[in-house]
Every structure is written in C-alpha cells, then in structure tokens.
Amino acid sequence: VAAGATVITPSAGVDVKGFDSCTFIAALGAIVAGAATSVEVHQSSDDGVADAYSALLASKVTVADDQDNKLVFVEVTRPQKRYLKLIVNRATQNATLDGIVAILSGPQAAPPTHDSATVISGSKLMHAPAEGTP
C-alpha cells in the first residue's frame, strides 16, 4: 500500500471459525516524522453484513514515527466473534504499510484445509522433524 495518511480497512475479515487464535502482523515501511500511526483489531459476527465491525478493548498498538521498516503484531486468543480485521490508522503525516498477514492457530480439528487460492501447493507444517534431505 502506498504511503498515506488515511485509515486502511481491509475489505473482508478473517474467518476464525474452528481456530483458537489469530495473530495479525503488519509490516510497516517508511514513516514520516510527526505521523500518528496505530493498529487495532475489530470484530464482527457476520463480516459486517448486519453486525458492524467494532474495536476490541485494549487492542490498539501505537507506532512511533521513528519505527520505520518494523513489524507490529496483535494476537487475539479465543475471539468472541467469528470475523476479525486489523485496522491501520494513519494521520498527520505519511506512513507506508507494506502488508498485513493473519496467522490462524490452534485448529479445533486436524488437519486444517488450506485455501488453494492463497496458499502455495506443497506448503508444509512440520512437527518435530528429523534431520535429512529437505
């Protein structure tokens, strides 16, 4: 996402049904001195159809204007509603968002099915692997 001083709200939320937690990681780029930047998590029971997204209490993380090219994360364990979004607030001066990643963990059923539209075939989860040829 280009540098700017506007709020970034993803168009769709992350469906956390069947998982115990979701960790959002925001990769920040250049931040201009004086920028007021923060991230916060919002939730909805139906991806904003009838239940508008609302902020989670104490989920806000403030980013200082000298924290260029760093990562900020927020983990939500046992969310109360099915859909979550990470909102990036930018004001006063430009702040660049390089991307947002959501990692679901604690599947309630194993193994989880990966979405072939977003996950490369052959991606792996390894548990206590032995040494050998990769």
Q: Within a 10 A sphere around the Cβ of 22, how many other Cβ atoms?
A: 23
More confident residue, 84 or 2: 84
pLDDT of the residue at 99: 94
More confident residue, 113 or 58: 58
- The single-letter code of the amino acid at 89 is N
Q: Which pLDDT value is given to residue 102?
A: 96
pLDDT band at residue 1 using 50, 70 and 90 as cut-offs: low
Phi-psi region of 45 (alpha: psi -120 to 50; beta: other; left: phi over 0): alpha
CB 63 within 8 Å of CB 72 = yes
Residues 6+ apart with CB under 8 A from 25: 71, 72, 73, 100, 101, 102, 103
